[in-house]
Chain A
């Protein structure tokens, strides 16, 4: 009897989960549906999920309405260079904090860790002036470099590298390997999963970021995808079907990464809180 009760409960739970996931998918479905509708159908009073006539031409129109490919180019340049720089300097510093003893180590580490909870929003003003004085406003350098060092990556790198046995490092040192060679030949090959998490998170964070580009950029040709999208919403000549088309195109890259690397997203999020 309990077994049958259990089966019934499981069937009920399955039904609840199906209904809930449909609810959660609905905004995506509605976005896709609107993106493929004609302007008239997008604002029609009949709800149709599958458009009467699928308007593939919306994509071409969307690309004409705003310089979307330019935004994509900027975002890709920023995200790719941020990934390389962030992963490199955070792993290197994480290695130093994990495996060396040096004066001031704990103080420096606590100082960095305490910035984990500091919202970048409160330091917008000084950063604007620092960037202005460096001549970094409206540049890729200004978008990438200032936020390449971040506490979450460093913390994760230190935890992960701690697990590598000291004997491996000592053995290499006795063999006469230089300190950087040890990092390159012993550490890097042993931290694959860490590097994967860092690459994926840095890419996602940079691709999705709005606030930093908002501070650094005023020139339209430098706009990133998110900034361009946020501005496009305010343009009254752009219809909703075109806006949804742009939104759809903006989330395709991150969705592809998500579908293939779901495991790493879950691992990374369990250690951080990188979402507003």
Chain B
């Protein structure tokens, strides 16, 4: 009798983990896995929100390669990502190195640089739209004090993207800084002492000790930032909505516009599928090169 009771208990232990993961897996499958497969599938159809889907083979993909707006959006996404990521990573690293010293009020400063990270992108977009306002914005006020002629930032095809990049630097730098700060504190001081004994100056110590020790962190920060850069949407939706003209139209926003505003679901899904593979390729590329050099 005891034996059968034991077996019963053992069997229930076997089912238990499945019960524990069931809610998670159910939600993942329904709202993540099925939608991804469904996106691939819809991309083979012509489908407006009201009509019935019509099988179209690969024509949506052919359309993609002759769509000049798509290439414009791709270029803008690259411009935005490279611009905002490179500046934020460099400033974040510099900030982390400065804050890694024993200076007064360190937690306060760290809080100041980090605070923009927790502000929503909509609020960030509103604050900076006002900062960049052509007539009344603080930026143009300050420029005129310096004797410079301001520009109509967000409605200028040339300056709208730099304005978006500057806004991004504002909230991205603190993120990079905090992550660098955490890993700077893990570099053993003995390495610096050894470097000093060998007569290395500050710059050499940075170049030959700090930077190599931070490489895994840099790879991590780059992967996250580049992917987030490619996914930019909320900020652009709030600040420029892709304009003026197509000057700040980025991939995700183009997908949103095609699918939900112009209701070309099939084409929107083809764009989404393309985007999916771009993100996948980027992640593996950065991870791969990071491993190579280590």
Q: Are A30 and B256 touching (Cβ within 8 A)? A: no
| B99: chain A residues within 8 A (beta carbon) | 17
Instruction: Give B18-58 as 1s and 0s: 1 = Cβ < 8 Å from A's Cβ atoms.
Output: 10110111011011111110110010000000000000000
Instruction: Give A216-232 as 1s and 0s: 1 = Cβ < 8 Å from B's Cβ atoms.
Output: 00000000001001100
| B131: chain A residues within 8 A (beta carbon) | 27, 30
Known A-B contacts: A124-B256, A125-B269. Give 5 more (CB < 8 A). A93-B24, A125-B39, A148-B27, A230-B237, A257-B118
Which chain A residues have a beta carbon within 8 Å of chain B's beta carbons? 10, 13-14, 16-17, 20-21, 24-28, 30-31, 34, 42-45, 47, 89-90, 92-93, 95-97, 100, 102, 105, 108, 111-112, 115, 117-119, 121-130, 145-149, 154, 179, 183, 204, 207-211, 226, 229-230, 233, 240, 243-244, 247, 250-251, 254-255, 257-259, 262, 265-266, 269-270, 272-273, 275-276
Contact of B28 among A31, A102, A115, A273 (CB under 8 A): A115
CB within 8 Å for A117 and B279 given contacts A26-B138, A122-B272, A124-B260: yes
Instruction: Give B76-113 as 1s and 0s: 1 = Cβ < 8 Å from A's Cβ atoms.
Output: 00000000000000000001001101111001010111
Identity of the chain A residue whose Cβ is nearest the Cβ of B181 in the assembled complex: A266
Stretch at the interface among B59-67, B119-127, B206-214: B119-127
Q: Are B35 and A126 touching (Cβ within 8 A)? A: yes
Q: What separation, in Å, do the CA atoms of A45 and B104 have in the docked complex?
A: 37
Q: Determine whether B276 belongs to the interface, using a CB cutoff of 8 Å to chain A.
A: yes
| A127: chain B residues within 8 A (beta carbon) | 31, 35
| B172: chain A residues within 8 A (beta carbon) | 275
Q: Are B123 and A42 touching (Cβ within 8 A)? A: no
Q: What separation, in Å, do the CA atoms of A93 and B145 have in the docked complex?
A: 58
Q: Are A269 and B24 touching (Cβ within 8 A)? A: no
Contact of A262 among B30, B32, B111 (CB under 8 A): B111
Contact of A102 among B18, B42, B109, B173 (CB under 8 A): B18
Q: Are B23 and A240 touching (Cβ within 8 A)? A: no
Interface size counted on chain B using CB atoms at 8 A: 96
A-contacting residues, B162-194, CB 8 Å: 170-175, 178-179, 182
| B27: chain A residues within 8 A (beta carbon) | 89, 145-146, 148-149
Q: What separation, in Å, do the CA atoms of A117 and B252 have in the docked complex?
A: 15
Q: Are B227 and A117 touching (Cβ within 8 A)? A: yes
What is the distance, in angstroms, from B184's C-beta to the closest C-beta of chain A?
Answer: 12
| A154: chain B residues within 8 A (beta carbon) | 24
Q: Are B235 and A118 touching (Cβ within 8 A)? A: no
Which chain B residues have a beta carbon within 8 Å of chain A's beta carbons? 12-14, 16-18, 20-21, 23-25, 27-28, 30-36, 38-39, 42, 95, 98-99, 101-104, 107, 109, 111-123, 125-131, 133, 135-136, 138, 141-142, 145, 170-175, 178-179, 182, 223-225, 227-228, 230-235, 237-238, 252, 255-256, 259-260, 265, 268-269, 272-273, 275-276, 279-280, 283
Q: Are B21 and A111 touching (Cβ within 8 A)? A: no
Identity of the chain B residue whose Cβ is nearest the Cβ of A25 in the assembled complex: B112
11 examples of A-B residue contacts, CB within 8 angstroms: A24-B173, A117-B227, A117-B280, A121-B233, A124-B255, A210-B122, A210-B234, A233-B125, A254-B119, A258-B118, A275-B171
Contact of A240 among B32, B133, B175, B283 (CB under 8 A): B133
| A243: chain B residues within 8 A (beta carbon) | 126, 130
Q: What separation, in Å, do the CA atoms of A26 and B268 have in the docked complex?
A: 39
| A28: chain B residues within 8 A (beta carbon) | 115, 127
Q: Are A125 and B265 touching (Cβ within 8 A)? A: yes
Q: Are B225 and A273 touching (Cβ within 8 A)? A: yes
| B126: chain A residues within 8 A (beta carbon) | 229, 233, 243-244, 247
Q: Are B120 and A210 touching (Cβ within 8 A)? A: yes
Contact of A266 among B128, B178, B275 (CB under 8 A): B178
Q: What separation, in Å, do the CA atoms of A207 and B171 have in the docked complex?
A: 17
Identity of the chain B residue whose Cβ is nearest the Cβ of A102 in the assembled complex: B17
Q: Are A42 and B136 touching (Cβ within 8 A)? A: yes
What is the distance, in angstroms, from A225's C-beta to the closest C-beta of chain B?
Answer: 8
CB within 8 Å for A276 and B228 given contacts A146-B30, A211-B233, A229-B123: yes
Q: Are B233 and A226 touching (Cβ within 8 A)? A: no
What is the distance, in angstroms, from B199's C-beta to the closest C-beta of chain A?
Answer: 14
| B13: chain A residues within 8 A (beta carbon) | 100, 179
